[in-house]
C-alpha cells in the first residue's frame, strides 16, 4: 500500500494531525493508497510558505523568461513520466488508460504555451490626455493562488490553473479532490525535480468541508481557481467574499447535442456516443441531452443504441475497454438514484438503466450505459447534472424549438451541433447560450482555446491567451513633469 505525504514549503510532510485517509481504486473497490488528512493548520502552513515564496527569495528574483524556462522543464518531465502519471490517475479515478495516456501526454503543451507567454505580458503607454503627465500600466502577479480541483480529470484540470498562474509569477496552494489526490502529489515530485524554489507550489490534501473551507476563508489567499460542482462553487464564492478573492469557477453542465436532419448520421452517432459515455459520463462537458429532429429520430436512435450496446466495459487498464467504472461509491449511488427518479417522472429506459452485472466488471462501481427516451425538457433528469453514463433523448421539430430546448437549463457549458449546412452551423453558434460550441465534433480541447461556461456553469475561462490575465493585476502608474 502506498502512503503519500503532502508537499509544503518544498518538504514532504505528514498532516499536523498525523491522520491519513484512504484512496480507493474504483475498479477493485479496494484501498490502494493512504493520503494525509490535512486540516486548517496545514492550510496555514501552506499559505505561509506560498506567501514567503511570493514575497522574497528565489521566485520573485527570477525574471519572466527564467520562469518560462522552469515551466518548460516541468513540461519535459511530465512528458518523460506519462506512463506513471496516467497509471496513477487510472488507479485513482477509474478512467481508461487508453484515454489517460493521450491526455497526460498532451498536458506538457499547457506548460510550453504559458512558458512562451510569461515574457510577453506587456503593459501599455496610453496617449494620455494630460500634457504634463506620463502614464503607463504594469501587469503584476496576483499573489497566492489556490487551486481546488475535482476527481474527474485531476491533473489536466490542475494544469489549466497551474501553468498560467506560475507563468504570471504567482505562488500556489493546491487542494486536489479527496478521491484523487495521488497524481497531484506525483506531479510535485516533478515540480521538485524541475527546480522550482521551495514554497512556490504547495499541496494540501484532505476534504472539502475542512481543507477546502479553510482555503476559501483564508485571508492570505488572493485568488481561487476552482473546478467542481455547482454547490461547492457557490459556497466558495460566498466564503471567499470575506477578502474579495478573485475567482474562476468551472462548474457543471447539462449540455445538449443537437442533431439536425441534414447531419451525417454515422459521424453524429459516434460523436454523441463518445460525448456521453467517454469517461463514463463523468465530464463537465458530457453531452447528456440528445436533441434530435423528428424526421431522423427513429433512425438515429436505432443506430445510437446499436453502437452504445456494443460498448466494452471492464478493467480500465485494458487498452480495449471503452467504458470504465464510476469513480466513487457515492457517485455510483447518485447515478442509479437519478435513473430511478427519471423513471418515476415518466422516462422510459431504452438501454441500460441498472448496475452492470458483467463478470468483466468485477467488484467495480459500474453502471450500464443508459439511454432514456420519452423525456421532456421540464423533467429533473433533463435539468440536473447526472455526471454519469446517462443520456436523455428529446425530439424537436424545427430549429427554433431546438435552440429553445438547448438553452432551457440553468447551465451553459457546452453544446454540440451536427449539421452539414454551414449557415445553420453559424446560426447555432450564435443562438446557443454556452461557453463552447462544437460543430460536427465534440469534446475537443486545446491549450489555445478558452474553456468555461455561462450561467450556472461558472465564470471565467481557462486556457487560451487571456487566461494568464486572470492571474495578474493591472497597476496604473502616473508621473507628473
Catalytic residues: 250
Query: Which cell goes with 37?
Result: 488528512
Structure-derived torsion over alpha carbons of residues 27, 30, 35, 37, reported in degrees to the nearest 10: 110
| Structural element, H or E, at residue 337 | helix 329-345
**How far, CA to CA in Å, does 87 sit from each of 183, 324, 377?**
9, 14, 39
Span interacting with ligand NAD, options 97-105, 195-203, 209-217, 333-341, rule CB under 6 A: 209-217
User: Which of 43, 236, 278, 432 touches ligand NAD (CB under 6 A)?
Assistant: 236
User: Which of 25, 250, 384, 470 touches ligand NAD (CB under 6 A)?
Assistant: 250
- Give the number of other Cβ atoms within 10 Å of residue 378's Cβ: 9
- Min dist CB 94 to ligand NAD, Å, is 14
Contact 423, 429 (CB under 8 A): no
* Residue 140 to residue 169: CA distance in whole angstroms: 8
Span interacting with ligand NAD, options 7-15, 122-130, 212-220, 472-480, rule CB under 6 A: 212-220
Contact 296, 402 (CB under 8 A): no
* Residue 67 to residue 358: CA distance in whole angstroms: 51
Query: Which C-beta is closer to ligand NAD: that of 377 or that of 457?
Result: 457
Pairing status of strand 133-141 against strand 472-480: antiparallel
- Min dist CB 185 to ligand NAD, Å, is 14
Interface with ligand NAD includes 183 (CB under 6 A)? no
Query: Which cell goes with 381?
Result: 433528469
Diameter over CA atoms, the chain: 81
- Min dist CB 154 to ligand NAD, Å, is 9
Burial 178-212 (b: 16+ CB within 10 A, else e): bbbbbbbbbbbebbbebebbbbbbbbbbbebebbb
- Min dist CB 284 to ligand NAD, Å, is 3
- Min dist CB 479 to ligand NAD, Å, is 42
- Min dist CB 478 to ligand NAD, Å, is 39
* Residue 442 to residue 431: CA distance in whole angstroms: 18
- Min dist CB 283 to ligand NAD, Å, is 6
Phi/psi-derived region of residue 228, left when phi > 0, alpha when psi is between -120 and 50, beta in every other case:
left
- Min dist CB 102 to ligand NAD, Å, is 17
Span interacting with ligand NAD, options 98-106, 151-159, 257-265, 298-306, rule CB under 6 A: 151-159
DSSP single-letter state for residue 246: E
Span interacting with ligand NAD, options 11-19, 52-60, 143-151, 357-365, rule CB under 6 A: 143-151
* Residue 355 to residue 205: CA distance in whole angstroms: 31
Interface with ligand NAD includes 178 (CB under 6 A)? yes
Interface with ligand NAD includes 228 (CB under 6 A)? yes
User: Which of 93, 109, 202, 216 touches ligand NAD (CB under 6 A)?
Assistant: 216
Interface with ligand NAD includes 290 (CB under 6 A)? no
Which positions ≥6 away from 450 have C-beta within 8 Å? 435, 461, 462, 463, 464, 466, 467
Query: Which cell goes with 299?
Result: 433512425
User: Which of 91, 171, 227, 280 touches ligand NAD (CB under 6 A)?
Assistant: 227
User: Which of 23, 183, 232, 370 touches ligand NAD (CB under 6 A)?
Assistant: 232
User: Which of 88, 91, 149, 456 touches ligand NAD (CB under 6 A)?
Assistant: 149
Helix, strand, coil fractions of the chain, as percent rounded to 5: 40, 20, 35
User: Which of 45, 139, 175, 424 touches ligand NAD (CB under 6 A)?
Assistant: 175
For the chain, helix (H) and strand (E) counts, in that order, are 16, 22
Query: Which C-beta is closer to ligand NAD: that of 221 or that of 351?
Result: 221
Interface with ligand NAD includes 213 (CB under 6 A)? yes
Radius of gyration from C-alpha coordinates of the chain: 23
Q: Which residues pair with 256 in a beta bridge?
A: 289, 415
Query: Which of the residues 381 through 400 are near ligand NAD (CB under 6 A)?
Result: 385, 387
User: Which of 10, 57, 229, 450 touches ligand NAD (CB under 6 A)?
Assistant: 229
Query: Which C-beta is closer to ligand NAD: that of 240 or that of 377?
Result: 240
Span interacting with ligand NAD, options 72-80, 109-117, 188-196, 222-230, rule CB under 6 A: 222-230
- Min dist CB 51 to ligand NAD, Å, is 20
* Residue 188 to residue 190: CA distance in whole angstroms: 5
Pairing status of strand 390-396 against strand 436-439: unpaired
Total binding residues toward ligand NAD, as defined by CB under 6 A: 31
Span interacting with ligand NAD, options 27-35, 111-119, 204-212, 315-323, rule CB under 6 A: 204-212
Please report, as ranges, the residues that interact with ligand NAD according to CB under 6 A. Answer: 148-152, 157, 175, 177-178, 207-209, 212-213, 216, 227-229, 232, 235-236, 250-253, 284, 385, 387, 413, 453, 458
Amino acid at each position: 500500500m502506498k502512503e503519500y505525504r503532502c508537499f509544503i514549503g518544498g518538504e514532504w510532510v505528514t498532516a499536523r494531525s498525523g491522520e491519513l485517509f484512504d484512496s480507493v481504486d474504483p475498479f477493485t473497490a479496494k484501498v490502494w493508497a493512504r493520503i494525509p488528512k490535512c486540516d486548517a493548520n496545514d492550510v496555514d502552513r501552506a499559505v505561509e510558505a506560498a506567501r514567503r515564496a511570493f514575497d522574497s527569495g528565489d521566485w520573485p528574483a527570477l525574471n519572466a523568461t527564467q520562469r518560462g524556462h522552469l515551466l518548460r522543464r516541468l513540461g519535459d518531465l511530465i512528458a518523460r513520466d506519462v506512463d506513471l502519471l496516467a497509471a496513477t490517475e487510472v488507479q485513482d479515478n477509474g478512467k481508461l488508460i487508453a484515454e489517460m495516456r493521450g491526455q497526460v501526454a498532451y498536458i506538457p503543451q499547457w506548460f510550453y504555451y504559458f512558458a512562451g507567454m510569461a515574457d510577453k505580458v506587456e503593459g501599455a503607454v496610453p496617449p494620455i490626455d494630460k500634457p504634463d503627465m506620463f502614464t503607463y500600466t504594469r501587469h503584476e502577479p496576483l499573489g497566492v493562488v489556490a487551486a481546488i480541483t475535482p476527481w474527474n480529470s485531476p491533473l489536466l484540470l490542475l494544469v489549466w490553473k497551474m501553468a498560467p498562474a506560475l507563468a504570471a509569477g504567482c505562488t500556489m496552494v493546491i487542494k486536489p479532490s479527496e478521491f484523487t489526490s495521488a497524481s497531484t502529489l506525483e506531479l510535485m515530485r516533478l515540480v521538485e525535480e524541475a527546480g522550482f524554489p521551495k514554497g512556490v507550489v504547495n499541496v494540501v490534501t484532505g476534504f472539502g468541508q475542512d481543507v477546502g473551507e479553510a482555503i476559501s476563508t483564508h485571508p492570505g489567499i488572493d485568488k481561487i481557481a476552482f473546478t467542481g460542482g455547482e454547490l461547492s462553487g457557490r459556497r466558495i464564492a460566498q466564503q471567499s467574499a470575506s477578502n474579495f478573492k478573485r475567482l474562476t469557477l468551472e462548474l457543471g453542465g447539462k449540455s445538449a447535442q443537437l442533431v439536425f436532419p441534414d447531419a451525417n448520421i454515422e459521424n453524429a452517432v459516434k460523436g454523441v456516443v463518445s460525448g456521453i459515455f467517454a469517461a463514463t459520463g463523468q465530464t463537465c462537458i458530457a453531452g447528456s441531452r440528445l436533441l434530435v429532429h423528428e424526421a431522423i429520430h427513429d433512425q438515429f436512435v436505432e443506430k445510437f443504441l446499436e453502437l452504445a450496446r456494443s460498448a466494452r466495459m471492464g478493467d480500465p487498464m485494458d487498452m480495449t475497454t471503452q467504458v470504465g467504472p464510476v469513480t466513487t461509491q457515492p457517485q455510483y449511488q447518485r447515478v442509479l438514484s437519478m435513473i430511478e427518479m427519471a423513471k418515476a417522472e415518466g422516462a422510459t429506459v431504452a438501454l441500460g438503466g441498472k448496475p452492470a452485472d458483467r463478470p468483466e466488471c468485477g467488484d467495480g462501481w459500474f453502471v450500464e450505459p443508459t439511454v432514456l427516451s420519452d423525456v421532456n425538457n421540464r423533467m429533473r433528469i433533463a435539468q440536473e447534472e447526472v455526471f454519469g453514463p446517462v443520456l436523455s433523448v428529446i425530439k424537436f421539430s424545427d430549429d427554433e424549438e431546438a435552440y429553445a430546448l438547448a438553452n432551457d437549463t440553468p447551465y451553459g457549458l457546452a453544446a454540440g451541433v451536427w449539421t452539414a449546412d454551414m449557415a445553420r452551423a453559424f446560426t447555432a453558434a450564435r443562438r446557443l447560450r454556452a461557453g463552447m460550441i462544437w460543430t460536427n465534433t465534440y469534446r475537443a480541447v486545446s491549450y489555445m482555446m478558452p474553456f468555461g461556461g455561462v450561467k450556472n456553469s461558472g465564470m471565467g475561462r481557462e486556457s487560451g491567451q487571456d487566461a494568464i490575465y486572470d492571474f495578474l493585476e493591472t497597476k496604473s502608474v502616473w508621473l507628473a513633469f
